[in-house]
Amino acid sequence: MLRYFIETVWENYKTGHLDQIWMVVVGFIIAFILAFGIGANDVANSFGTSVGAKVLTLKQACILATICELSGSVLLGKFSIVSVELFQTIDNGHVLLMAGQVAALGGRSMKIVFF
């Protein structure tokens, strides 16, 4: 994912499309904030009782949670939610799609981190 991010930033820099680069950078930062919030919420709900009952140590729970969260996001995240083909017929449809995705990431990260 980091390689794709760096390649995207570099391609936009080389081609002069710097007007959309802020969305990539902001989306990347918001995605990390959202991942932190989702991980913290899920781990507390899932492994709190196991650590409290001393079935797992905190280190074991963190390792197991990392494996479960990563595998869940990779296995279930491969399906497309938004069809990109719908935005190909619109002028600057890719910008509209990217702005919508960044707005959705931002809204969800604010909800999960602050509320």
Residue in the block written with tokens 């497309």: 80
Residues 6+ away with beta carbon under 8 Å from 13: 21
For CA atoms 21, 26, 29, 35, the dihedral sign is: negative
Which of the pair, 76 or 105, is modelled with greater confidence?
A: 105
For CA atoms 44, 68, 35, 101, the dihedral sign is: negative
Total residues found in the chain within this entry: 115
Task: Tally helices (H) and strands (E) across the chain.
Answer: 4, 0
Q: pLDDT tens digits, residue range 88-107?
A: 788 878 788 888 889 999 99
pLDDT category, 1, cuts 50, 70, 90?
Answer: low
CA distances from 77 to 32, 35, 74, 81, 105 (A): 15, 13, 5, 9, 14
Report the distance separating Cα 92 and Cα 90, nearest Å: 6
Tell me the two tokens of residue 114. 């602050």
Give the pLDDT confidence score for residue 72 in this predicted structure.
84
pTM for this model (two decimals): 0.66
Q: Where are the domains of the chain?
A: 1-113
> Looking at the predicted structure, is the pLDDT value of residue 26 above 80?
yes
Q: Is 18 helix (H, G, I), strand (E, B) or coil?
A: coil
Give the pLDDT confidence score for residue 16 in this predicted structure.
65
Q: pLDDT tens digits, residue range 28-74?
A: 899 999 888 888 887 888 888 999 999 999 999 989 988 988 888 78
